[in-house]
Chain A
Amino acid sequence: MVEKDHFRQVLQHSPFHDRIEEHNLIKNWMSWNGYQTARVLDTLSAEYFAIRSGCSVMDLTPMEKYRITGPDSLAFLNRLVARDLSKLKPNRVTYVVWCNDDGKVLDDGTIFHLGDAGYRLCSQHHQLDWLLISSQGFDVEIAEETHEVAALAVQGPTSCAVLRAAGIDGLDQLKPFGIQYTQLLGFEVMVSRTGYTGDLGYEVWTEPRHAVDLWDAIFATKHRGLYDVRVIGLDALEMVRIEAGFIMPGDDFITAETAVRADHDRSPFELGVGWTVNLDKPYFTGKGALIKEKSSAIKRRLVKLVVEGNKPPVDSFLYDAMKGKRIGTIKSQTWSPILKANLAMADIDYINGKAPREIWAEIYYQKELTWHATWARTTVSEKPFWSHPRKSATPPGPY
């Protein structure tokens, strides 16, 4: 229940807020979905390496969550998303995108099959209106449950060991995209082997009233001197999600619902997530448009680019040759400390259905407030920039 005087506190607090605030040494907050969320808590590089070489913890509560229940849940979701969900088993999770009738992407997210408890859809943006519009004619209940579920992302090579030491049992056999329930200190937690880091990692879900106990159990492993565990902010997450090759709706592309200018929206094929589109399954929203699109050469793509050198290609224009024709722009980018390379997501025009043979970035950078311009060759990477066998090893190793 929202109180009438909610204007007094603009950004909401998640149930983990008090704990995070203790760790947030530089008080660098931002809004994520209306929640007060840390951008960086201490130093960015320490947070990045917590994800890649230790154990990181991040509050996932602000992520938009919906519960879908009722006899037509599967039929409804299968009509909503481009992927075929009919084979999604209970206690499994899958990545999906969904489109409007023009086959343009509205958002991406994950669907959790919770067995008798229905399905959970997690999304980047607010989707209740679209879910309700799309559910006409289906016998389903759709409820937004963002604030009713507290969740932590626990990610990194020691994440399994940390959770085990915290008292969460039975993770050995949990495979990627699997869900498992367990008791911790007398309350129920749900653990899914999912994440946005491309590394070994878990998401731990519980009721808000148990949030602090869950947090304390995880950090007790650090206080006991067993493992280093570090809270991370959204800036570190941004680095690893680019390394892992995950797209970010709203940053890498404008979602179809919010696109104002014509031709600014994007199809799943144009975003490089065509692998989640199943044109053989029964009708789903956007299918007709996507079949039509598939029959002609693709016009543009969001691609993963490795940019040579070490100058950050922030907002750079891209060209088909050094000083050649302009063919696109960088949407997001990061320096990868583990690969020692500039990685980027870029929207580029294709020629006859193919990427231009060469792609060059024009980079503006400054040293001591003096600006310089330089050119860097780039290469398209079809695979995630970074991946590690430990991500999917079952049982996971200790580090």
Chain B
Amino acid sequence: MANNRGKKYDAIVIGAGHNGLTNAAFLAKAGLDVLVLEKNEYIGGATVSRELHEGWKYSNCSYVCSLFRPEIYQALDLGRHGLEVIPLQGSTTFMQNGDYFGSYHQPTVRRREIARHSKRDADAAIRFDADLMKWCRLIRGFLLRTPPNPASLKPRDAWEFAYLVKQFYGLSESQIYEFIRFFTMSIAEYLEEYFESDVILAHFSGGSIIGTGLGVYSPGTAYVLLHHAMGDVDGNIGSWGFSRGGMGAIAKSIAASFSSFGGEIRTAAEVRQIRVAGRRAVGVVLVSGEEIDASVVVSNLDAKRTFLGVMDPKDLPEDLLHRAENFKIRGSSGKVNIALDGLPNMTALPQGSPLTRGHMHFTDTLERLERGYDDWKDNRWSADPYVDALIPSQFDPTLAPPGKHMMSVFVQYCPYDVEGGWSDEKRDAFGATVIDQIAQYSPDFKSMILHTEVRTPLELENEVGLTEGNIFQGELTLDQLMFNRPFPGYAQYRGPVKNMYLCSSSTHPGGGVMGAPGANSAREILKDLRRLNTVPADFGDD
């Protein structure tokens, strides 16, 4: 342990999640002396890859990359620090009747495949893609900006408001009404305005329930689709990619960039509390009892954990405590990571199909998706779960030995408060439900399993510190987005006491491996410190 007694840092960032690291890197790039404190023995938070079975590397939480801002990638020189994001290829929904729908990566083939299920839907997809792109363009303009504070009269907020209005009025009047509808609709209703085929409706709605405590028929889920479509890989909006070496490579490359600016990271250093004196943050105290001083303290923890965990309630205004207690952060997702002895045969796919290289889903109707949600509301995991399975070892040789494979399975829904409480047996039973779902479409799948890591929301909470295991550090609903994230009045990354800031996914623009909360927060900190801004503006119109 470094002896820091007496030393005062310019800034301490609590948590080495990718947003904490991004924040720290921009502060260090501006010349600040920055220390990152991480409770785990490894960095990355939910952007992590670990070897839990010899020779296999799992991306234990997040598993695909699209939202990460290319402006940050460029500004922190992440390519030279070891990051490679490779576009992945398509997605499939396997059907109970033995057929499947493949959303191929090749556009001509994709169109013909939609037409195989419905000629009309193939044409409707053109309208759908263009409409979704309108909302993507609008929202992308806000990702690297601090939301305005509607309650403030500061000129800067007025400017931001003007920007917002201008972006909005770049739309035609009818588009504005459409946008408001879009934000408040359920994904099922939204998609039914375009498509008729059951499997296509089910396929395109999957991205709308990932990570939420909402079902396909719940209002607000249409926006979640956008949250999954607004990213890009090399300008291809809506595309997803794999980070070579697993998602952990993203955190590692940011950490390497941070170190190149002289930053310092301490792992196994859990913070117990942010120290406040005279309504100013002055440093932290670790669980070990060690005190470290800093001029600025930034929290990478979710809003609940920040305000109700590492802050003394006496330092907080009453309304903030109340808001933090009521912050919607429900766990609804699980993860199963599997080491495989070979490539499982998906019986429905013709030999040589490229679809094994993309996402695989096994829920072919909206009704089945909604029933899966019903289970969650009853504090059970879905008996017929929605899964997003991927085998990235097909083109990333760093994840498994040659000829062997690693499968990452994201699962919706899995409750935090399971009936009667979680136990090891229940966790394994949850894992078995997921494996059975896949095995129905792949007879040799089970016999290839060498090792599994099963994670319920409880494991996610315990390991990553995500309250209730919510993957986005708070629901992505309109009442918790933009200037409402995490709470009205606190959306500009500044905490309730001076010199204290937030930089996590609980802040705008929200969850996902995006880096934007960390970067936006760094911009605000540097502004307050009157230091040179190192955070890039967005690339603009796209």
Most buried by A among B130, B170, B353: B130
Knowing A257-B130, A258-B130, A260-B134, the reply to whether A7 touches B109 (Cβ < 8 A) is yes
User: Is B122 in the interface zone, CB < 8 Å from A?
Assistant: yes
Find the B residue at minimum CB distance from A144: B119
Chain A positions near chain B (C-beta within 8 angstroms): 2, 4-8, 10-12, 31, 34, 102, 125-130, 132, 144, 257-263
Shortest B328–chain A CB gap in Å is 32
Main secondary structure of the interface of A (DSSP, over half): loop
Q: Which of A7, A8, A126, A262 contacts B172 (CB 8 A)?
A: A262
Knowing A7-B109, A260-B133, A262-B171, the reply to whether A126 touches B352 (Cβ < 8 A) is no
Q: Which of A4, A34, A128 contacts B120 (CB 8 A)?
A: A128
Contact assessment for B134 and A132 in the assembled complex, using a CB-CB cutoff below 8 Å: no
In the complex, 18 of the A-B residue pairs with CB atoms within 8 angstroms, ordered by the A residue number, are A6-B109, A7-B104, A7-B109, A7-B355, A10-B109, A34-B111, A125-B126, A126-B126, A128-B119, A128-B120, A129-B127, A144-B119, A257-B126, A257-B130, A259-B130, A260-B137, A261-B137, A262-B175
Give A132 to B120 CA distance when docked, in angstroms. 8
Main secondary structure of the interface of B (DSSP, over half): helix
Complex interface: chain B residues within 8 A of A258 (CB) = 126, 130
User: Is B156 in the interface zone, CB < 8 Å from A?
Assistant: no
Complex interface: chain B residues within 8 A of A4 (CB) = 99, 116, 350
Complex interface: chain B residues within 8 A of A132 (CB) = 120
Shortest A274–chain B CB gap in Å is 22
User: Is B311 in the interface zone, CB < 8 Å from A?
Assistant: no
Complex interface: chain B residues within 8 A of A31 (CB) = 108
Chain B positions near chain A (C-beta within 8 angstroms): 99, 102, 104, 106, 108-109, 111-113, 115-116, 119-124, 126-127, 130, 133-134, 137, 170-172, 174-175, 350, 352-355
Give A34 to B109 CA distance when docked, in angstroms. 8
Shortest A33–chain B CB gap in Å is 9
Shortest B295–chain A CB gap in Å is 45
Complex interface: chain A residues within 8 A of B130 (CB) = 257-260
Complex interface: chain A residues within 8 A of B355 (CB) = 7
Complex interface: chain B residues within 8 A of A263 (CB) = 172
Complex interface: chain A residues within 8 A of B354 (CB) = 7
Q: Which of A5, A125, A128, A144 contacts B353 (CB 8 A)?
A: A5
Give A4 to B100 CA distance when docked, in angstroms. 9
Shortest A93–chain B CB gap in Å is 24
Shortest B176–chain A CB gap in Å is 10
Shortest A267–chain B CB gap in Å is 14
Q: Which 3 A-B pairs have the closest CB atoms?
A: A129-B123, A5-B350, A129-B124
Shortest B318–chain A CB gap in Å is 45
Complex interface: chain B residues within 8 A of A129 (CB) = 120-121, 123-124, 126-127
Q: Which of A5, A34, A126, A261 contacts B170 (CB 8 A)?
A: A261
Complex interface: chain A residues within 8 A of B108 (CB) = 10-11, 31, 34
Shortest A296–chain B CB gap in Å is 17
Give A104 to B170 CA distance when docked, in angstroms. 18
Give A257 to B194 CA distance when docked, in angstroms. 13
Contact assessment for B123 and A128 in the assembled complex, using a CB-CB cutoff below 8 Å: yes
Most buried by B among A2, A5, A7, A128: A7
Complex interface: chain A residues within 8 A of B102 (CB) = 7
Find the B residue at minimum CB distance from A9: B109
Shortest A89–chain B CB gap in Å is 30
Q: Which of A2, A10, A11, A127 contacts B115 (CB 8 A)?
A: A2
Contact assessment for B109 and A127 in the assembled complex, using a CB-CB cutoff below 8 Å: no
Find the A residue at minimum CB distance from B124: A129
Shortest B126–chain A CB gap in Å is 6
Contact assessment for B123 and A34 in the assembled complex, using a CB-CB cutoff below 8 Å: no
Shortest B92–chain A CB gap in Å is 11
Complex interface: chain A residues within 8 A of B126 (CB) = 125-126, 129, 257-258
Complex interface: chain A residues within 8 A of B137 (CB) = 260-261
Shortest B351–chain A CB gap in Å is 8
Complex interface: chain B residues within 8 A of A128 (CB) = 119-120, 122-123
* Beyond A7-B355, A12-B112, 17 extra complex contacts between A and B, CB < 8 Å: A2-B112, A2-B115, A4-B116, A6-B109, A6-B112, A6-B116, A7-B109, A10-B109, A34-B111, A128-B123, A129-B121, A129-B124, A130-B123, A258-B126, A260-B130, A260-B133, A262-B172
Find the A residue at minimum CB distance from B137: A260
Shortest A196–chain B CB gap in Å is 23
Shortest B220–chain A CB gap in Å is 24
Contact assessment for B123 and A126 in the assembled complex, using a CB-CB cutoff below 8 Å: yes
Find the B residue at minimum CB distance from A142: B120
Give A130 to B352 CA distance when docked, in angstroms. 36
Give A264 to B109 CA distance when docked, in angstroms. 28
Give A31 to B107 CA distance when docked, in angstroms. 11
Knowing A7-B102, A258-B126, A262-B170, the reply to whether A34 touches B175 (Cβ < 8 A) is no
Shortest B242–chain A CB gap in Å is 21
Find the B residue at minimum CB distance from A11: B108
Complex interface: chain A residues within 8 A of B121 (CB) = 129
Give A263 to B174 CA distance when docked, in angstroms. 12
Give A12 to B102 CA distance when docked, in angstroms. 18
Give A6 to B123 CA distance when docked, in angstroms. 18
Complex interface: chain A residues within 8 A of B116 (CB) = 2, 4, 6
Complex interface: chain B residues within 8 A of A261 (CB) = 137, 170
Complex interface: chain A residues within 8 A of B350 (CB) = 4-5
Find the A residue at minimum CB distance from B351: A5
Contact assessment for B113 and A6 in the assembled complex, using a CB-CB cutoff below 8 Å: yes
Give A31 to B112 CA distance when docked, in angstroms. 14
Most buried by B among A6, A31, A34, A263: A6
Find the B residue at minimum CB distance from A125: B126
Shortest B490–chain A CB gap in Å is 33
Give A345 to B122 CA distance when docked, in angstroms. 31
Find the A residue at minimum CB distance from B174: A102
Shortest B476–chain A CB gap in Å is 23
Find the A residue at minimum CB distance from B170: A262
Find the B residue at minimum CB distance from A126: B123
Give A6 to B113 CA distance when docked, in angstroms. 8
Shortest B223–chain A CB gap in Å is 18
Complex interface: chain B residues within 8 A of A144 (CB) = 119
Give A12 to B108 CA distance when docked, in angstroms. 9
Complex interface: chain A residues within 8 A of B175 (CB) = 262
Contact assessment for A7 and B106 in the assembled complex, using a CB-CB cutoff below 8 Å: yes
Find the B residue at minimum CB distance from A129: B123
Give A144 to B120 CA distance when docked, in angstroms. 9
Knowing A31-B108, A260-B133, the reply to whether A127 touches B352 (Cβ < 8 A) is no
